[in-house]
């Protein structure tokens, strides 16, 4: 837990003047921050107002928790606040050569553009739908075959599926299914550890002068995970390079995976002064895997937790699915735009359980006046959206799960585009999430399929708890277990390649497989 001291709310500081900070800590200030940083920042905002500063160790920090002040940061002074403030763990993991932690400038801009163009263009997202579909259907088949009536750890199996989805988008069918499952299991453990370490409050971040001592061993632990991760990346890069060298690559541009694009870029850079090599490629791949897995799987786990806690909302969401998709079909991504109630459920879940409650901390490259107070250059600026989402002055009944508040949003007031500063689940401004369209698809499509295919119940005698655990992604404090029961009597889980049709039913209340036909026979 980081030591902190010396809080100044806007009630105590002079307007239109540079803030003056005490250089020594008052004896009566609390010595430690609560590990649930978002909660403690919110409590402090109640006392000191929507902008206050505090020392986190020797790091001057500013916490902002009102829509109008956040707008000043991410819209009115966007370029000044366009740097994320990298943590020691983030820099050790990526060398600052990824998108998330690289400083605002040409490299960051080029990488972001490349990512948007090659991975997230409408064409490429459409072309990659088959991969998402295949993964989601595979997991539904697995539940039908082996997990009906048994408790499942939701976060774990959703994470595994979303990891497979993103691996497919990044390096396609480079490795066969068996190898992918093996790699996925290994990868999952390592990625979880990396995310934990990135979210862990670290003394080295708060006392940069002491970073070399690595008191909590965060840097040591991160360095111990990296070789294993690198090995995984090396194996897929090797496989892709062999294909490229052999020249038998599928020339269909729309089907090129993101790794192929990055390697081509590396080839073009050879001999030029700017360096774009394997280190950069691995840092960007790591961003994609981290950005796409923990955020989506944590959100899906929260959606199911809220629905299990609100059976009325669960019923309405399933009725909508029955109406839009029907009981003889399986969900397709094309259904998503018609699932208005489910969309409202997901939006309400983002409001109550934002994946990144403080977004990612910003660091101004010049001093700026925000809300009448000077925010010094190089301070660490937290944008506390979590506190806005629970503010009764902004949201009616803010603690209640009420998806209906997002219905009939004809004006687009509650879209994810970062223009409404009361609602920013994907951030806002230059550094807002570039993966939002993919992220939204991954969440909506998987949740819709899970609710359409199965009834979900809690294990006997269990109740849903909604306790949070702060981290770079805010997970549940305890994993959610739920039991699936078959909702559809017949699931056509046809896959694109090894097409199979699975017909199921029930006998004496037990699910049974009625037939399996391979290749349409
Ligand atoms: C439910 C899904 C997701 C949520 C809620 C989410 C949320 C966020 C948020 C809040 C930020 C920080 C924005 C800011 O500082 O203003 C961010 C940044 C980022 N996200 Fe996402 N994200 C999601 C999915 C994804 C996906 C699928 C990818 C990539 C495949 C991705 C890649 C990134 C990257 C690279 C950044 C850093 C952008 C930069 O620094 O320029 N995210 N995300």
The answer, yes or no, to whether any atom of ligand 1 lies below 6 A from the CB of 100, is yes
pLDDT at residue 494, as a whole number = 56
Is the distance from the beta carbon of residue 370 to the nearest atom of ligand 1 less than 6 Å? no
Atom of ligand 1 nearest to the CA of 438: 27
Q: Which ligand 1 atom is the nearest neighbour of the CA of 429?
A: 16
Residue 269 confidence (pLDDT): 65
Whole-number Å distance, alpha carbon 387 to ligand 1 midpoint, is 20
How high is the pLDDT of residue 33?
Answer: 56
Task: Residue 312: count other Cβ atoms within 10 Å of its Cβ.
Answer: 9
User: What are the residues whose beta carbons fall under 8 Å from the beta carbon of 453, sequence distance 6 or more?
Assistant: 140, 143, 144, 330, 331, 484, 486, 487, 488, 491
| Backbone angle region of 235, left / alpha / beta, with phi > 0 → left and psi within -120 to 50 → alpha | alpha
Whether ipTM exceeds 0.85: yes
**pLDDT tens sequence for the chain (521 residues):** 333 444 555 433 334 333 333 233 333 333 455 678 899 999 999 999 999 999 988 889 999 999 999 999 999 999 999 999 999 999 999 999 999 999 999 999 999 998 888 888 888 888 889 888 988 999 999 999 999 999 999 998 899 899 988 988 888 766 777 777 777 778 888 988 998 898 888 889 888 888 899 999 999 999 999 999 999 899 889 888 888 777 655 555 445 688 888 888 888 765 565 678 889 899 999 999 999 999 999 999 999 999 999 999 999 999 999 999 999 889 999 999 999 999 999 999 999 999 999 999 999 999 999 988 999 999 999 999 999 999 999 999 999 999 999 998 777 789 999 999 999 999 999 999 999 999 999 999 999 999 999 999 999 999 999 999 888 888 999 999 999 999 976 666 654 433 334 444 433 334 433 333 333 32
Catalogue the E-assigned strands of 293-361: none
Q: In angstroms, rounded to a whole number, what is the distance separating the alpha carbons of residues 506 and 486? A: 9
Q: What is the rounded CA–CA span in Å between residue 433 and residue 99? A: 10
Q: Measured from the CA of 296, which atom of ligand 1 is nearest? A: 1
| Per-residue pLDDT, 492 | 61
For ligand 1, atom 20, which residue shows the shortest CA distance?
433
443 lines ligand 1 (CB under 6 A): yes
Burial of 411 (0-12, 13-18, 19+ CB in 10 A): exposed
Determine if ligand 1 sits within 6 Å of the CB of residue 296. Answer: yes
Closest approach atom of ligand 1 to CA 362: 15
Whether pTM > 0.80 for this model: the answer is yes
Look at residue 272 in the predicted model and tell me its pLDDT. 60
Give backbone dihedrals phi and psi of 484, rounded to 5 degrees, phi first. -85, 140
Provide the token pair at 292. Answer: 């796409």
Instruction: Give dist(CA 168, CA 132) in Å, integer.
Output: 8
Nearest CA to ligand 1 atom 21: 433
Report the pLDDT value the prediction gives residue 46, as an integer from 0 to 100: 94
192: left (phi over 0), alpha (psi -120 to 50) or beta: alpha
* CA of 518 relative to ligand 1 center, distance in Å: 39
- Determine the distance from the C-alpha atom of residue 405 to the mean position of all C-alpha atoms in its chain, rounded to a whole number: 23
φ/ψ region of 361 (left if φ > 0, alpha if ψ in -120 to 50, else beta) reads beta
| C-beta neighbour count of 39 within 10 angstroms | 17
């Amino acid at each position: 837990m980081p030591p902190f001291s010396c809080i100044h709310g806007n009630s105590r500081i002079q307007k239109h003047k540079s803030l003056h900070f005490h250089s020594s800590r008052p004896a009566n200030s609390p010595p430690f921050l609560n590990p649930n940083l978002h909660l403690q920042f919110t409590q402090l905002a109640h006392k000191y107002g929507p902008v206050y500063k505090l020392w986190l160790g020797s790091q001057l920090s500013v916490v902002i928790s009102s829509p109008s002040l956040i707008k000043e940061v991410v819209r009115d002074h966007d370029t000044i606040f366009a740097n994320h403030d990298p943590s020691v763990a983030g820099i050790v993991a990526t060398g600052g050569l990824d998108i998330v932690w690289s400083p605002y400038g040409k490299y960051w801009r080029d990488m972001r553009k490349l990512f948007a163009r090659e991975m997230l263009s409408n064409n490429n997202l459409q072309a990659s739908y088959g991969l998402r579909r295949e993964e989601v259907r595979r997991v539904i088949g697995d539940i039908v075959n082996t997990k009906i009536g048994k408790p499942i750890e939701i976060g774990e199996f959703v994470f595994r599926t979303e990891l497979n989805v993103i691996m497919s988008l990044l390096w396609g069918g480079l490795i066969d299914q068996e190898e992918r499952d093996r790699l996925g299991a290994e990868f999952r453990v390592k990625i979880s550890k990396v995310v934990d370490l990135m979210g862990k409050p670290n003394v080295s971040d708060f006392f940069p002068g002491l970073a070399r001592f690595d008191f909590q061993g965060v840097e040591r632990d991160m360095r111990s995970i990296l070789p294993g991760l690198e090995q995984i990346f090396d194996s897929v890069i090797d496989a892709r390079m062999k294909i490229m060298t052999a020249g038998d690559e599928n020339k269909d541009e729309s089907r090129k995976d993101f790794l192929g694009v990055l390697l081509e870029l590396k080839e073009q850079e050879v001999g030029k002064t700017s360096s774009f090599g394997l280190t950069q490629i691995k840092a960007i791949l790591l961003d994609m895997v981290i950005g796409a897995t923990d955020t989506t799987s944590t959100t899906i786990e929260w959606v199911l937790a809220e629905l299990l806690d609100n059976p009325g909302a669960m019923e309405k969401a399933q009725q909508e699915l029955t109406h839009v998709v029907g009981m003889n079909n399986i969900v397709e991504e094309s259904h998503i735009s018609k699932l208005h109630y489910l969309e409202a459920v997901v939006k309400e879940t983002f409001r109550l359980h934002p994946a990144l409650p403080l977004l990612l901390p910003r660091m101004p490259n010049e001093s700026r006046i925000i809300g009448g107070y000077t925010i010094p250059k190089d301070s660490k600026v937290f944008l506390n959206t979590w506190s806005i989402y629970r503010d009764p002055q902004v949201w009616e009944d803010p603690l209640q799960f009420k998806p209906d508040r997002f219905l009939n949003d004809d004006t687009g007031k509650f879209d994810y585009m970062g223009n409404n500063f009361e609602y920013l689940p994907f951030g806002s401004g230059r550094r807002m999430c570039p993966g939002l369209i993919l992220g939204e698809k991954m969440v909506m499509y998987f949740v819709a399929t899970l609710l359409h295919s199965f009834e979900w119940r809690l294990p006997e005698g269990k109740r849903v708890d909604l306790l949070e655990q702060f981290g770079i992604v805010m997970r549940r404090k305890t994993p959610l277990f739920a039991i699936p029961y078959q909702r559809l009597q017949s699931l056509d889980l046809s896959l694109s390649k090894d097409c199979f049709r699975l017909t199921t039913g029930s006998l004496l209340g037990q699910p049974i497989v009625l037939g399996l036909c391979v290749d349409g026979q």
